[in-house]
Amino acid sequence: MCTAATYKTKDFYFGRTLDYEFSYGDEITITPRNYVFNLRHMGTLSKHYALIGMAHVAGDYPLYYDAINEKGLGMAGLNFVGNAVYNEVEEGRENVAQFEFIPWILGKCATVKEARELLSRINLVKTPFSEQLPCAQLHWIIADKEGAIVVESMADGFHVWDDPAGVLTNNPPFDQQMFMLNNYMHLSPKQPENYFSDQLGLKAYSRGMGALGLPGDLSSASRFARVAYVREHSFSGESEAESVSQFFHILGSVDQQRGCCEVEPGKYEITLYSSCCNGDKGIYYYTTYENHQISAVDMHHEDLDGAALVRYPVLQGEKIYMQN
């Protein structure tokens, strides 16, 4: 399972949890403006916006899971197993392979508005990266400081949904996730009133009872409702430290602890990493399951006019600050 969210204070923030039972070998990867993407069906993409994000680099190709570009547009791919359907290549169309989708959008678009325009022409195709890395079944959230959209390529068509909740998880399809939020419209950070009966003398005996009924389990639909609720009510200061800290708390509401989601006997899905990108500053912050300290890579500390990928390993291992 995975969860993505947006957040705004003075700056725009975008990030995700990556939940899985193993890592593909990820690195924080900066693609500078002159790195040449050799596209499968569209020639080359040689001049584009610079990107920073989490990727598995295969043969010098950055296979992004989530990223932002230098203009503050963010995009993340989340599992959509059983629902994602990609097309065959069609002559004369903009055929973009599923694994090229993030660089194609973030390389060319500065805003969600521009992404919508590009999406209206795209034919998302099933060409795999390689035999070892076949097509991932994903759907995507694309967001900037003005708003978010969700892209789902399914058997019944190519959908571009408005995402006013600013979140995405996994199955079921996005329109169903949004519909199910109706079930939770009574939830509130305020203490509840007794509408049940004026005969029974019911009262709030604990803080936090306004959100009784918010689902606590790890299913995708429950995480969708929980992260949407937490994000909606999030409140923080505007400084970078306060905003980043609050963003990780939003994602913390859907964190997966080892042992709670068994995918096969003795194998557990966990939150391998959580990310928070500052879209205005081009900084990629992250924590991992084994490293709660926030680490960060700033794209503007690199030569963004270069042509070679810049790669940083994901730092692991808890760093405990001993006070005596």
Ligand X SMILES: C[C@H](CCC(=O)NCCS(=O)(=O)O)[C@H]1CC[C@H]2[C@@H]3[C@H](O)C[C@@H]4C[C@H](O)CC[C@]4(C)[C@H]3C[C@H](O)[C@]12C
17: contact with ligand X by CB under 6 A: no
What are the DSSP E strand ranges found in the chain?
A: 2-8, 12-20, 27-31, 37-38, 44-45, 51-58, 61-69, 74-79, 94-97, 122-125, 138-144, 147-154, 157-162, 167-168, 262-264, 267-268, 270-278, 283-288, 291-298, 310-313
* Alpha helices, H only, 109-190: 112-119, 174-180
- Which residues, including other chains, have CB under 8 Å from residue 92's CB and lie 6 or more apart? none
Selected range binding ligand X among 16-24, 44-52, 142-150, 193-201, rule: CB under 6 A = 16-24
77: contact with ligand X by CB under 6 A: yes
Closer by beta carbon to ligand X, 11 or else 65:
65
Could you identify the residue written with the tokens 């979140």? 167
Selected range binding ligand X among 112-120, 135-143, 204-212, 284-292, rule: CB under 6 A = 135-143
268: contact with ligand X by CB under 6 A: no
Rounded Cα–Cα distance for residues 30 and 218 (Å): 32
Closer by beta carbon to ligand X, 99 or else 174:
99
Site for ligand X (CB under 6 A): which residue of 45, 118, 135, 211? 135
Closest CA to 236 of 12, 16, 9, 6: 9
Site for ligand X (CB under 6 A): which residue of 39, 42, 45, 133? 133
28: contact with ligand X by CB under 6 A: no
61: contact with ligand X by CB under 6 A: no
* 109 assigned to active site: no
How many chain residues touch ligand X (CB under 6 A)? 21
Q: Is 310 left (phi over 0), alpha (psi -120 to 50) or beta?
A: beta
Site for ligand X (CB under 6 A): which residue of 106, 136, 142, 149? 136
Site for ligand X (CB under 6 A): which residue of 56, 139, 226, 231? 56
Rounded Cα–Cα distance for residues 194 and 71 (Å): 49
| 64's tokens | 């992004």
18: contact with ligand X by CB under 6 A: yes
Closer by beta carbon to ligand X, 36 or else 81:
81
Least separation, in Å, of the C-beta of 17 and ligand X? Answer: 9
| 256's tokens | 């997966």
Rg (CA), the chain: 20
Closer by beta carbon to ligand X, 81 or else 212:
81
Backbone CA torsion sign across 17, 22, 24, 28: positive
70: contact with ligand X by CB under 6 A: no
Closer by beta carbon to ligand X, 67 or else 187:
67
Closer by beta carbon to ligand X, 92 or else 313:
313
Residues 202-241 binding ligand X (CB under 6 A) are 220
* Alpha helices, H only, the chain: 101-108, 112-119, 174-180, 220-233, 240-252
2: contact with ligand X by CB under 6 A: yes
129: contact with ligand X by CB under 6 A: yes
| 226's tokens | 């929980």
Rounded Cα–Cα distance for residues 267 and 114 (Å): 42
104: contact with ligand X by CB under 6 A: no
Q: Which residue is nearest to ligand X (CB)?
A: 79
Selected range binding ligand X among 36-44, 131-139, 189-197, 222-230, rule: CB under 6 A = 131-139
Active site residues: 2
Interface residues with ligand X (CB under 6 A)?
1-2, 18-20, 24, 56, 63, 65, 77-79, 81, 99, 129, 133, 135-136, 138, 170, 220
